[in-house]
Amino acid sequence: MTNTRLATRYAKSLLDLAIERDELDQAFTDMKWMQMLCKGNRDFVNMLRSPIIKSDAKGKIIIAVAQNNVGKLVNTFIHLLVSKGREGALPEITNAFIDQYKTFKEIYSIKLTTASPVTEETKTMLIELLRSLTNMKNIELDTVVNEEIIGGFILQTSERLADASIAYDLKEISRQFENNDFIYKIR
């Protein structure tokens, strides 16, 4: 079970310390690496959350894996998590830290879903269009291909969703036929 309050507090502490020491970008890079490790290795996450494995053994494993891949600040932070028995929350803490970093740096994550792959030129044009229409200056565009939307696109930010897909339009037409909405619009 995840504890978002705990993850948010630890992430905020690391963020504040990284800002204070002027190591924010290095901490972000290190936490992105930790996030990739946690997402890419289910056994690692299971080990972190295992009640059978002792904390000191978990700490040795984490340090052995992370020692040459993360900086001193994040290594010290991991030691703190292990000493407090919070190593099981490491995946949530890394996610919370990355979210807080993006908020601090005003980086907006936008997800674009299309039925076919999008060219780099189209991505660049979309980013420039979004910058000109909104107050978003730092945009991180993630593209996903989903053939089930048939055509068009779905643009999703943390706050809004714009569904201009053919699948959405077909569902709306189907709903109108089920409700006999077309009869009233004809008259």
- Cβ neighbours of residue 142 under 8 Å, at least 6 residues apart? 109, 110, 111, 112
Confidence (pLDDT) at 68: 87
Confidence (pLDDT) at 185: 55
CA angle 59, 65, 70 (to 5 degrees): 100
Look up tokens 């292990």; give the residue.
Answer: 82
Question: Which CATH code of 1.10.520.20, 3.40.50.1970, 3.20.20.70, 3.40.50.1820 fits the domain covering 4-103?
Answer: 1.10.520.20
Intervals of the chain under pLDDT 70: 1-2, 181-187
Distance CA 154, CA 143 (A): 10
Q: Is 27 exposed, middle or buried (0-12, 13-18, 19+ CB in 10 A)?
A: buried
Beta strands in 115-187 (DSSP E): 138-145, 152-156, 161-165
Report phi then psi at 52, rounded to 5: -80, -40
Confidence (pLDDT) at 143: 96
Confidence (pLDDT) at 187: 42
Confidence (pLDDT) at 72: 94
Inter-CA distances, 14 with 10, 164, 185, Å: 6, 40, 59
Look up tokens 């963020």; give the residue.
Answer: 15
Share of the chain residues as helix, strand and coil, in percent rounded to the nearest 5: 65, 15, 20
Closest CA to 162 of 134, 185, 182, 124: 134
- Cβ neighbours of residue 145 under 8 Å, at least 6 residues apart? 113, 114, 115, 116, 117
Confidence (pLDDT) at 176: 80
Distance CA 113, CA 145 (A): 6
Q: What is the reported pTM?
A: 0.80
